[in-house]
Structures are given as structure tokens and as C-alpha cells.
Amino acid sequence: MSIQYQLTDVMQKAVFYPWSAVFDYSRRVVTHPNYPLRDTGIGRWQAATFESSARLLGHYPKQSYRINECESEGRVIPVAEQTVVKKPFCNLLHFVSTGAKTRPKVLIVAALSGHHATLSRDFIARNV
């Protein structure tokens, strides 16, 4: 399964990247000051369509959580990120805080496939 996942990922990047570049270039053309339809409804619609398409097909690398410390009871406590299980499509991470009082363990599962650390970083930092 891991090879199939990796091949799918590579193929998507190979197919989508050129289209993303075409849409981004098209957006730059229709937003250029010399483009006659730039300030019309059609020009704005074209720019929005090309920008949305370029963003949809773009490749975005995974962001790290960057949680090095947290605050508990008025004290700053160091936090270490440990990878417990590593798979081609996901990693199970354990955030270890030393010196904080013991809290219940919480399993956080990403609500959306592919959103990575973007939406859950603050929640994890508050609950480590």
C-alpha cells in the first residue's frame, strides 16, 4: 500500500503542477494593468477563477507543529515532539511535556485529510 500511495502522490504532483502553473500565469495576465478587461466584472471573475484553480491544484508541503514550550500554571514548560508510529500517509505524534502536572491523555485526529498542522497547532499547544 505504501508504494501505491507514494506513486499516487508523485503522479498527482506531476499532473497537477503544470496546470497550477498555467492557471497562475493566466491569473497574472488577466490582472496586468494593460489587460483591457481587468477592471470589469468578467476580468475579476477570470482572475478569481484562475487564482482558485491555481491554489486548488498547488502543492503545499507539510508544516511542522513547532510546539517547543507551553504554559501551565504560570510556568513555561518545555515540550518535545516524538514520532510514535510513522506511515507513508500519516504519523502518530506524542507531545511530551516535562515538569507539568499529569493530565489525561488526549487523541487528536485531523478532521480534514491533508490539513496537516495548520488547524490543530493552537489546540495542541493549549492542551499538551
Q: CA 116 to CA 61: how far, in whole Å?
A: 9
Q: In the prediction, which pLDDT does 73 show? A: 76
Q: CA 101 to CA 69: how far, in whole Å?
A: 14
50 contacts 27 by C-beta, under 8 angstroms: yes
- The model's confidence at residue 72, banded by pLDDT at 50, 70 and 90, is confident
- Give the rounded percent of residues in the chain with a pLDDT score beyond 70: 86
Q: In the prediction, which pLDDT does 42 show? A: 96
Q: In the prediction, which pLDDT does 6 show? A: 76
Q: In the prediction, which pLDDT does 27 show? A: 96
Over residues 34-52, the pLDDT tens digits come to 999 999 999 999 999 999 9
Long-range own/partner contacts, residues 69-74 (CB < 8 A, 24 or more apart)? 70/97, 70/100, 70/125, 70/126, 70/128, 72/97, 72/100, 72/101, 73/100, 73/101
- For residue 8, the 8-state DSSP code is H
pTM exceeding the 0.75 threshold for the entire prediction = no
Q: In the prediction, which pLDDT does 24 show? A: 95
Over residues 51-65, the pLDDT tens digits come to 999 998 887 777 777
67-72-76 Cα angle (round to 5): 60
Strand segments, DSSP code E, in 54-126 are 69-72, 75-86, 91-97
